[in-house]
Amino acid sequence: MSQLKAWRAAIVHCIADPKEVGTENAYEYFADGLLVVDGDTIRAVGDAETLLPTLPHDMLTEHHPDGLITPGFIDTHIHYPQTDMIGSYGEQLLTWLNTYTFPEEGKFADKTHARDVAERFLKELLRNGTTTALVFGTVHKVSVEAFFEACEEQNLRMICGKVMMDRNAPDYLTDTPESSYQESKELIDTWHNKGRLHYAITPRFAPTSSDEQLQLAGQLLGEYDDVYMHTHLSENVDECAWVQDLFPNSKNYLDVYDQNQLLSERSVFAHGIHLCDSEYHRLHETGSAIAFCPTSNLFIGSGLFKLSKAEEYNVNVGMGTDVGGGTSFSILQTLNEAYKVVQLQNENLNPIKSLYLATLGGAKALRLENKIGNLVAGSEADFVILDKKATPLLTSRLALAQSIEESLFVFMTLGDDRAIQATYSAGQCVHLR
């Protein structure tokens, strides 16, 4: 039985990569738009006045004259167990991990704690308009079970995995090559493709895995068609030097993963700041993606991601908040920092490209572009309603905006969770401000 419902507001979404078709052809904008949803699926999007006469006249319609509807945002790299340590002071990556991160992650041996944090984490994502995320758990199998159970209750499209790490970390946070393989496999068999959930094989980063563990991670990835691989790559200069010492037989950082068959169309590498040309090339060749995490890269002082290099080599890129190294759950605020990272390299980040990275580009990085990332008919009904009058400053500034590009740019500069009026996942309201 059809359950049609419509939302009337301004609507903008990307339909292609601006790099391939040019900015003007990469998006659709309807100043007075209508989004028609049938249960959990988008039925139509277009001009309200064109669509309305074609639809049942008693169809339930919500009107948001101050709203701007966009697809739900996609966060391609975040750590749910780091929710409560966001904003930890004063350190760069390796000291930051030992001082703050590892003790915090130790708490996730307790499933009750894990479930409590998972619920608060999901609330935070949804109040920021993020409907899909690629998420790190901890080394504890129960951390991933708690997370997936919380997602399942709200029918969210989420990807998560148990951290694999067997060295250079405290004893209370290490597994073994065999136990990490076995537990990851059990989690895949229980959770991967259950409803809207997916599994990511998650070696933390090269320094915390032995060769044996990385080799088994690659073997496991090869056993499935569509399981993800999620790790960190080339984030911090001290980390890169350490990887060289630990893996003297690798050509570069990425090659450590490559030698273990960990590059694939469903492999996502967070950061990728200090890469050489052959690493970009290899990421492209294998269809791997990079998660660009500007708030984290600035906050832990890692460096400036070279978006133009990734584009030159045609590497898929999505946006990541990297909470708790990142400082905000908001993809709008993450785009604000991304703009500045690009500015510091004497380039510009166009707001349409930003919208793309946060939605359809992220979906492509995760190979989910046939399900999420825009509002075309047949897509899952994951969307947000932005409020043009969310704050006094947004109200006055947006009143002067001359184009949808300018309005988007203002939302990305001034907006945060306050700008999110409502978030929908599979047609259901999962956040209302």
Please state the closest distance from residue 305 (CB atom) to ligand GUN, in A. 13
Contact 183, 220 (CB under 8 A): no
Contact 217, 178 (CB under 8 A): no
Q: Which is nearer to ligand GUN, 101 or 421 (CB)?
A: 101
Instruction: Dump the DSSP string for 202-259.
Output: EE--GGGS-HHHHHHHHHHHHT-SS-EEEEEES-SHHHHHHHHHH-TT-SSHHHHHHT
Q: Which is nearer to Zn ion, 145 or 322 (CB)?
A: 322
Q: Which is nearer to Zn ion, 234 or 425 (CB)?
A: 234
From residue 165, give the alpha-carbon distance in Å to each of 160, 216, 379.
16, 12, 37
Q: Which is nearer to ligand GUN, 236 or 423 (CB)?
A: 236
Binding of ligand GUN at residue 205 (CB under 6 A)?
yes
180 binds, among Zn ion, ligand GUN, none (CB under 5 to 8 A by kind): none
Question: Among 12, 36, 97, 197, which residue sits at the site for ligand GUN (rule: CB under 6 A)?
Answer: 97
Binding of ligand GUN at residue 296 (CB under 6 A)?
yes
How many separate helices (H) and strands (E) can be counted in the chain? 18, 16
Site for ligand GUN in 226-245 (CB under 6 A): 232, 235
Binding of ligand GUN at residue 421 (CB under 6 A)?
no
Q: Which is nearer to ligand GUN, 104 or 416 (CB)?
A: 104
Question: Among 322, 380, 387, 405, which residue sits at the site for Zn ion (rule: CB under 5 A)?
Answer: 322
104 binds, among Zn ion, ligand GUN, none (CB under 5 to 8 A by kind): none
| Per-residue contact flags (x/-) with ligand GUN for residues 389 to 418, judged by CB under 6 A | ------------------------------
43 binds, among Zn ion, ligand GUN, none (CB under 5 to 8 A by kind): none
Site for Zn ion in 264-303 (CB under 5 A): 270
Helix (H, G, I), strand (E, B) or coil at 198: strand
Question: Among 204, 230, 282, 306, which residue sits at the site for ligand GUN (rule: CB under 6 A)?
Answer: 204
* Cα(188)–Cα(224) distance, integer angstroms: 9
The amino acid present at 154, given as its one-letter code, is: Q
Q: Torsion-angle region of residue 39: left (phi > 0), alpha (psi -120 to 50) or beta?
A: left
288 binds, among Zn ion, ligand GUN, none (CB under 5 to 8 A by kind): none
Binding of Zn ion at residue 75 (CB under 5 A)?
no
Q: Which is nearer to Zn ion, 255 or 322 (CB)?
A: 322
Q: What residue is closest to Zn ion based on CB?
A: 322
Q: Using N-to-C axis directions, what is the helix angle for 331-343 and 351-358, rounded to 10°?
A: 130
Q: Looking up tokens 């203002």, which residue turns up?
A: 410
In the chain, what is the greatest distance between 2 CA atoms, to the nearest angstrom? 69
Binding of ligand GUN at residue 75 (CB under 6 A)?
no
Q: Using N-to-C axis directions, what is the helix angle for 177-191 and 141-153, rounded to 10°?
A: 10
Helix (H, G, I), strand (E, B) or coil at 40: coil
If you count them, how many residues does the chain have?
Answer: 433
Binding of ligand GUN at residue 388 (CB under 6 A)?
no
Please give the size of the binding site for ligand GUN, defined by CB under 6 A.
11
Q: How many CA atoms lie within 13 A of 234 on its CB side?
A: 22
Compute the C-alpha angle 82/84/86, nearest 5°.
70
Q: Which is nearer to ligand GUN, 10 or 365 (CB)?
A: 365
Compute the C-alpha angle 97/100/101, nearest 5°.
55
- Taking the CA atoms of residue 254, residue 91, residue 95 and residue 277 in that order, the dihedral angle to the nearest 10 degrees is 10
Binding of Zn ion at residue 235 (CB under 5 A)?
no
Q: Which of these segments, 13-21, 314-322, 402-410, 425-433, binds Zn ion (CB under 5 A)?
A: 314-322
Site for ligand GUN in 311-330 (CB under 6 A): 322, 325
| Interaction site with ligand GUN (CB under 6 A) | 79, 93, 97, 101, 204-205, 232, 235, 296, 322, 325
| Interaction site with Zn ion (CB under 5 A) | 270, 322
